[in-house]
Structure 1
Amino acid sequence: MITTMIVAVATTLTPPGGDDLAAFRSYRAHLAAAEKALRLGEANELRRWLDDAPTVHRDWEWRYLRDVSDTTLETVAIDTPATGIAVAPDGATVATIEGDRVWLRDWPSLSPRRVIDGHAGPVYRAAFGPGGDRLITVSRDVTSRVWDTATGEEIARITLANPAVAAATLGPGGAAATGAWERDEEGKVHGVVWIWDPATNAVRFRRRIGIKPLSSLRFTPDGSHLLAGSWDGLVHVLDATGVEQRVLRLPDEGVYNAVNDIAISPDGAIVAAAAKDRTVRIFDIETGGLIATLRGHGDHVEAVAFSPDGALLASGARDETVRRWRVADWSEFDTLRGHEAAVRGVAWTPAGDRLLATGRDATVRVWDGRTKQTPHLAIDTGTDGTYSALFAPDGNMVAVTCFDGWLRTYDTRTGAEGVSWEAHPGASCHGAGFDRSGTRLITCSWDQTARIWSMPSPTLIATLDAGAGVYACALAPDGKRAALSAGHLQIWDVEAVTTLHRIELPGVSVTRVVFSPDGTRVLAGGTDGIARLYDAETGALVGTFAGTGSRIEAVAFAPSGTEVLTGDAAGVVRLHATSGGPAQFACVTGERGVNHIAVFGDRVAVATDRLWLLDRRHGETVLMRRPLTDTAYHLSWSADGQRIAIVSANGTLALLGREKPGPGTFGP
């Protein structure tokens, strides 16, 4: 596979050489191929490219893409590839179809409790009755059987006409329906429906339906109608006796559109038909009108199921994904990845809090039934706009500064809003920063002040009167000094609430400020395209770092404190040694200017109109994503380097990454 990656243009002045550079370039190529597989919806290919990537360079972006490929909450291995799954009405039992057997499993452990064993061929379908005490199956052994779920014993059966495609379901009145196909005297194929009584094995009605095998049967919730999906691209609407009332015809788009599965909404008004033409078609059962066509799957859609509240529809396909759709407008809700082979069955728990899927990879996978499964936790702050997002040092909370002067905090696991307060009444809250302990927080504003707060219960302990609007601020790691950009640079003694240094540059405004990791120096960006390094104790200038001449919009220290990074309005990120000399690399991140830079280890996160992730040692892009619909305005790393908080000007906060490495999913 030949792949390309949209990358930042980099000039690396002192590149690592030899084998390391070759391994890094190989790593980037593997990431590019993985990202292409992600865009194409090829989750298995995505995982394969990631698994083959050189281990020495794997970092945050590798974990991020790996977790995008698997968003499951839980994965349980089963004995053989499965062809279907069902959940009992009381939610206590899950049935998985595995070869010629059906396993009844305890929920939520999914531990095997009992096996339904007796068929002499593969089981095609299994469905619980309304009371959950009965299970109907249909098999290639030309029988359909009803079983006691408490004992696993067979209690009824009928013999069918043909061992091929078949379907079965139990109705609310206790009736059983089984579908298959047969040939007439002239050799023509017909679908056949048997409506029969499991108590007596008596067939009440036997109807020929259509001219192709029937693949799926469902009773409406009130039992008044039976719907049958056909390989002729039809859904037949039958009354309770099997007499056809109307036919719902899937549009012919020149692709084989056999129906693989159908699902009826909880209110009995609509039916969803999963088809081999990669679509799910939505019909009004009463009128027969086509309501919507759902597109997105890359291969045959094998299974569909409505959530118990009717708000979502889940579809599983051969493309190894499960997709969920909003019933309100039929837009896609999310794509669930994790399966490594075709998905053959999907089912919701009765409470709707979990969605289960199974398939040819011999696993049952579980997702949250209500929460959108994305590789980040998205939070709408409900404000007109946000300026910055900073993780508290313990990683449990992120603080967001807002246009309306408020500082809002959010739980990083659940996204719930925590303590929030109006830090700067009547003005905007431009910036903020924690000390290393997390017990002090600084905020700043155009109201010409910076304020120091005791945390976690915000108590104002000092107000720094800058005499001009404060554009950016920072606290030293020990919380004893503060740096402000108020047109000029100010360095404050927080304990004494006095200015230590006021450093003015003729014709130049200070744009951004940051303390070194040890708190002894302050780096300040300027509108003249130069970043200047000052001694925090004496205020002496100890270094300058020139760029393109464009306004410096972002400044940061590398963790060692021996390197600094700058980002400017031209979109260029530069790395300099604090000891002096030319830039070690200059990386153009696109046509938009840099809004912010944050560094963890060898990774440099850059906010422009999107998120860029650079390798600090090589000066090259390793990942580019758009987690927000608007421009990325500010970002920060959690103290453990596992998560990135990023905000946009439209008031959206996104938390990317998970709390700790290992199996699991992002967010709560």
Structure 2
Amino acid sequence: MASLTSDLLNFIVFRYLQESGFIHAAFSFGYEAGLNRSTIDDHLVPINALIKIVQKGLQYLELETNLSIDDTDMDEDFRFVEPFDLITKSVSELQQMIKEEKAKVRKDKANADNELDHEREPARDSEKEKNGNDGDLEPMDICTDSTSLPCEISSCDVRALEGHTSEVFVCAWSPEGSLLASGSGDSTARIWTIGDGSGNSTMQRMPPNVMVLNHLDSRATEENNDVTTLDWNRKGTLLATGSYDGQARIWTRAGSLLQTLNKHEGTIFSVKWNKKGDYLLSGSTDRTAVVWNVKSGELKQQFSFNSGFLDVDWLDNNSFAIGSTDNKIYICKVGVNQPVKRFSGHKNAINAIKWDPSGSLLASCSEDTTVKIWSMKRDVCLHNFREHSKEINTVKWSPTGAGTSNPNKKLLLASASFDSTVKLWDVERGRLLHSLNGHREVVYSVAFSPNGDYLASGSLDKCMNIWSVKEAKIVKTYHSDGGIFNVCWNKEGNKVAACFSNKVFVFDIRS
């Protein structure tokens, strides 16, 4: 049998950390393990490789245990042992457990069959009395779970965008037009032109118009060039991307490379345009944030700190917030060398930050399992939400309330967590409004529809759910063949994009 090398095992662990959302841990592990010098072809390592290896080992031991028993009946359900039993008990102990459990199951089944035979005739006679001669009618299924039996999105309303050769981590619709950008571990971003109509129409069956934005160059041939983040400017004319090679790039909507921005020495995890579109902000694990002059492609200002940055967000055209791995949030201003304000209160790395539409409140979420709300008028947080039980991946404000096109609707905040839930917060009252419990594994991404009535969520459980915000129920769902890393709505609110594995799926959402 071929041996499993330490380099391959390190790479599989690295990929597991990436897929589980531990981006900073993955980067640190990969750097210390020297994976940038590895000759392993990442395209040959499937998604969830570590889990599959462990699971197959457990299945092999379980199968070996069952096949070694003289009275094994493979028609029976032989899954009587838990993974922890397989790891801690010997084969003989496992065999004895299975024998005892099978004997118990057979005894219980015989008793149940006897009781069923005894009760079947009176029950059938009673049913016939109620329904005349139609005693064989089957009763309807009754749903008592608020998240059960949602409307499955039809395959004719789904379009698969294929072409990436590795996991697609991020996608974003252009603010104007029908362009969708995606970023992948295959060292490319892509700009797709999405036509109108349902998935079964002639337009949808035609190969999509796609522009491939190649991120490999002479500097990066031996480095990992995953495209980690991207952002359209407000007009939808330019796309910014950031990647593992530490370079930010600016592309035209036609797919031409306009600027390559070289200053970072570590992975870029966030790029954001200011509203005016004259500055681009990038945050990196190299412990710096850089403001770029977009027109000239030159560095406007660099801010250095003692830790890496996982997210950045503009407050206005000149001021912005940085979420740091040192548990702090820094408020900076172009032209000022030091932060103008610091927020302290989180007890672990800050994964995401976001200003509300009016620019008066800042939301942050952390690996410390809390969501906090901040105001520039105070030094401590306004609200400290503790209802999540595990790390929180992201937060998103609803496009409602002051400063939006939906001013008469309440402002809400959504958070997605490793605890498999999405939570909606009433920030004005400082309380949990709804806990959305339809996923079974970590939720990576959430996005509000443009009118604020619906929320899309994507999870490692291979499901994309669309929730009614008002009713806190799933109204549409789609089951994919891979974990979903990112979801986003188009401007019109009639399409949702989701990226998983090496594909991007576009869903036509019909009311």
Mapped pair 1:622 → 2:433:
yes
Q: Is the 8 A contact 2:173 2:488 kept in 1?
A: no
Q: Distance in 1 between matches of 2:320 and 2:350?
A: 15
**Post-superposition shift, 1:613?**
2.3
Q: Distance in 1 between matches of 2:270 and 2:167?
A: 17
Mapped pair 1:393 → 2:175:
yes
**Post-superposition shift, 1:484?**
1.1
Q: Is the 8 A contact 2:264 2:288 kept in 1?
A: no
Mapped pair 1:604 → 2:465:
no
Aligned pair partner of 1:514 in 313, 326, 332: 313
Q: Which residue of 2 aligns with 1:298?
A: 142
Percent identical residues: 18
Q: Is the 8 A contact 1:390 1:645 kept in 2?
A: no
Q: Is the 8 A contact 2:447 2:488 kept in 1?
A: no
Q: Which residue of 1 aligns with 2:294?
A: 494
Aligned pair partner of 2:262 in 421, 444, 465: 465
Q: Distance in 1 between matches of 2:304 and 2:178?
A: 38
Amino acid in the other structure paired with 2:256: T
Residue aligned with 1:474, SS? strand
Q: Distance in 1 between matches of 2:190 and 2:437?
A: 23
**Post-superposition shift, 1:592?**
2.3
Cα deviation per residue 1:224-283 (whole Å; 9 max; x = unaligned)? xxxxxxxxxxxxxxxxxxxxxxxxxxx988465979xxxxxxxxxxxxx9964437xxxx
Mapped pair 1:278 → 2:278:
no
More strand, by proportion: 1
Mapped pair 1:424 → 2:237:
no
Q: Is the 8 A contact 1:533 1:543 kept in 2?
A: yes
Where in structure 2 are the equivalents of 1:37-436 lying within 5 Å?
Answer: 254=120, 256=124, 276-278=137-139, 297-298=141-142, 335=149, 371=156, 384-394=166-176, 396-408=178-190, 411=194, 419-425=210-216, 427-436=225-234
Q: Distance in 1 between matches of 2:228 and 2:434?
A: 28
Cα deviation per residue 1:414-468 (whole Å; 9 max; x = unaligned)? 576663524423610101111111111111001110111112x222111111332
**Post-superposition shift, 1:555?**
0.7
- Gapped regions of structure 2 (runs ≥ 5): 1-115, 129-133, 217-223, 401-410, 461-481, 495-506
Q: Which residue of 2 aligns with 1:613?
A: 424
Mapped pair 1:631 → 2:442:
yes
Q: Is the 8 A contact 1:391 1:645 kept in 2?
A: no
Q: Is the 8 A contact 1:391 1:636 kept in 2?
A: no
Amino acid in the other structure paired with 1:525: G
Q: Which residue of 1 aligns with 2:373?
A: 575
Q: Distance in 1 between matches of 2:277 and 2:369?
A: 32
Q: Which residue of 1 aligns with 2:478?
A: none
**Post-superposition shift, 1:553?**
0.7
**Post-superposition shift, 1:626?**
5.8
Aligned pair partner of 2:357 in 553, 556, 559: 559
Amino acid in the other structure paired with 1:500: K
Count of matched residue pairs: 317
Amino acid in the other structure paired with 1:406: T
Q: Is the 8 A contact 2:450 2:489 kept in 1?
A: no
Q: Which residue of 2 aligns with 1:222?
A: none
**Post-superposition shift, 1:660?**
5.8
More helix, by proportion: 2
> TM-score of the superposition, structure 2-length normalised?
0.53
Q: Is the 8 A contact 1:389 1:635 kept in 2?
A: no
Q: Is the 8 A contact 2:450 2:492 kept in 1?
A: no
Amino acid in the other structure paired with 2:308: S
Name which one, 1 or 2, has greater alpha-carbon Rg. 1
1:502–1:369 Cα change, 3 Å: closer
**Post-superposition shift, 1:603?**
1.7
**Post-superposition shift, 1:567?**
0.8
1:553–1:448 Cα change, 3 Å: same
Cα deviation per residue 1:573-610 (whole Å; 9 max; x = unaligned)? 11111222321111124222122222123121222234
Residue aligned with 1:545, SS? strand
RMSD over equivalenced CA pairs, Å: 4.0
Q: Is the 8 A contact 1:605 1:614 kept in 2?
A: yes
Q: Which residue of 1 aligns with 2:343?
A: 545
Residue aligned with 1:501, SS? strand
Q: Is the 8 A contact 1:595 1:607 kept in 2?
A: yes
Q: Distance in 1 between matches of 2:355 and 2:153?
A: 39
**Post-superposition shift, 1:533?**
0.6
Amino acid in the other structure paired with 2:139: R
Q: Distance in 2 between matches of 1:504 and 1:274?
A: 78
Q: Distance in 1 between matches of 2:384 and 2:154?
A: 45
Q: Is the 8 A contact 1:379 1:654 kept in 2?
A: no
Residue aligned with 2:346, SS? coil
Q: Is the 8 A contact 1:406 1:420 kept in 2?
A: no
1:336–1:532 Cα change, 3 Å: closer
**Post-superposition shift, 1:639?**
4.9
Q: Is the 8 A contact 1:386 1:647 kept in 2?
A: no
Amino acid in the other structure paired with 1:522: F
Amino acid in the other structure paired with 2:415: V
**Post-superposition shift, 1:496?**
1.2
Q: Which residue of 1 aligns with 2:509?
A: 667
1:659–1:583 Cα change, 3 Å: same
1:641–1:424 Cα change, 3 Å: farther
Q: Which residue of 2 aligns with 1:584?
A: 382
- Structure 1 window deviating more from structure 2 (387-396 vs 413-422): it is 413-422
Q: Is the 8 A contact 2:353 2:365 kept in 1?
A: yes
